[in-house]
Chain A
Amino acid sequence: MRRKSGFSFGLFYFLVVAFILFLPILLLVVFSFNDSTKLVFPLKGFTTQHYADLVGNREMVEAVRTSVLLGLGSSFLATALGTMGAIALSRFKFPGKGFFTAVSALPLVIPYVILGVSLLIMFNQVGIKLSAWTAGLAHVVISIPYALLIISSRLAGFPDNLEEAAMDLGATYWGALLRVTIPISFPALVAAFLICFTISFDEFAISSFLVGTQPTLPVYLYSQLRFPTRLPLVVSLSSILMVATMIIMLLAEWLRRLGDTTR
Chain B
Amino acid sequence: MEKQNRLAVLLGPPGLYLLILFLLPLGIMAVFSFRAGTIGDARFIYTLDNYREFLTKTSFHRLLLISARIALTIASLSVILAYPLAYYLTFRAGSRRVILLTMLIVPTWTSYLLRIFAWKLILGSTGLLNTFLLWIGAIEQANPILLYSRNAVVITLLYVWVPFVALPIFAALERIDPSLLEAAADLGSRPWETFLRITLPLSLPGVMAGFFFALIPTLGEYVTPLLVGGGQGAMYGNLIQDQFVRALNWPMGSVMSLAMLVLAIPLLFLFTKAGGSDLVEF
A positions within 8 Å CB-CB of B:
1, 3-5, 8, 10-11, 13-14, 17-18, 20-25, 27-28, 31, 39-42, 80-82, 84-85, 87-88, 92, 94, 100-115, 117-122, 125, 137-138, 140-141, 144-146, 148-149, 173, 195, 198, 202, 204-205, 209, 218, 221-222, 225, 234, 238, 241-242, 245-246, 249
Report chain B residues within 8 Å CB of A245.
109-111
Nearest CB to that of A18 among chain B residues?
B103
Mask of B107-140 contacts with A, CB within 8 angstroms, 1/0 = 1111111110111011000111001000000000
Q: Are A238 and B221 in contact (CB under 8 A)?
A: no
How far apart are the CA atoms of A240 and B10 in the complex, in Å? 39
How far apart are the CA atoms of A181 and B19 in the complex, in Å? 27
Report chain A residues within 8 Å CB of B118.
24-25, 27-28
Q: Are A118 and B94 in contact (CB under 8 A)?
A: no
Q: Are B277 and A149 in contact (CB under 8 A)?
A: yes
Q: Are B257 and A117 in contact (CB under 8 A)?
A: yes
Q: Are A94 and B25 in contact (CB under 8 A)?
A: no
Range, interface on chain B: 35 or more
Provide a sorted-by-A list of 21 A–B residue pairs whose CB atoms are within 8 angstroms: A4-B94, A17-B81, A17-B85, A24-B121, A41-B127, A82-B14, A88-B11, A94-B7, A101-B272, A104-B14, A105-B277, A117-B240, A141-B17, A141-B18, A149-B277, A209-B244, A209-B245, A221-B113, A225-B117, A238-B111, A242-B110
Q: With A4-B92, A85-B11, A144-B14 as known contacts, state yes or no: A24 contacts B113, CB within 8 Å.
A: no
How far apart are the CA atoms of A88 and B131 in the complex, in Å? 56
Task: Name 20 extra pairs, CB < 8 A, besides A92-B11, A100-B15, A117-B244.
Answer: A1-B182, A3-B92, A14-B89, A20-B159, A22-B107, A23-B128, A25-B110, A27-B128, A82-B14, A84-B10, A94-B11, A108-B213, A109-B213, A110-B264, A111-B219, A112-B217, A115-B25, A117-B253, A202-B113, A225-B227
B positions within 8 Å CB-CB of A:
2-3, 6-7, 9-11, 13-15, 17-18, 21-26, 28-29, 32, 81, 84-85, 87-89, 91-96, 100, 103-104, 106-115, 117-119, 121-122, 126-128, 131, 159, 162-163, 178, 181-182, 212-213, 216-217, 219-223, 227, 237, 240-241, 244-245, 250, 253-254, 257, 260-261, 264, 268, 271-272, 276-278, 280, 282
5 closest A-B pairs by CB: A111-B220, A24-B118, A105-B277, A118-B25, A40-B126
Q: Are A122 and B182 in contact (CB under 8 A)?
A: no
Q: Are B95 and A5 in contact (CB under 8 A)?
A: yes
Report chain B residues within 8 Å CB of A125.
28, 32
Partner of B14 from the list A5, A21, A84, A137 (CB cut-off 8 Å) is A84
Report chain A residues within 8 Å CB of B96.
11
How far apart are the CA atoms of A238 and B111 in the complex, in Å? 8
How far apart are the CA atoms of A160 and B221 in the complex, in Å? 42
How far apart are the CA atoms of A222 and B223 in the complex, in Å? 10
Partner of B94 from the list A3, A107, A119, A173 (CB cut-off 8 Å) is A3
Report chain B residues within 8 Å CB of A40.
126-127
Q: Are A198 and B91 in contact (CB under 8 A)?
A: no
Partner of B21 from the list A110, A140, A173, A195 (CB cut-off 8 Å) is A140
CB distance from B16 to the nearest CB of A (A): 9
Q: With A87-B10, A113-B257, A195-B282 as known contacts, state yes or no: A122 contacts B111, CB within 8 Å.
A: no
CB distance from B205 to the nearest CB of A (A): 15
Partner of B276 from the list A41, A105, A114, A117 (CB cut-off 8 Å) is A105
How far apart are the CA atoms of A11 and B99 in the complex, in Å? 12
Q: With A102-B272, A111-B219 as known contacts, state yes or no: A149 contacts B280, CB within 8 Å.
A: yes
Q: Are A138 and B21 in contact (CB under 8 A)?
A: yes
CB distance from A222 to the nearest CB of B (A): 6
Report chain B residues within 8 Å CB of A114.
26, 220, 240, 257, 260-261
CB distance from A216 to the nearest CB of B (A): 11
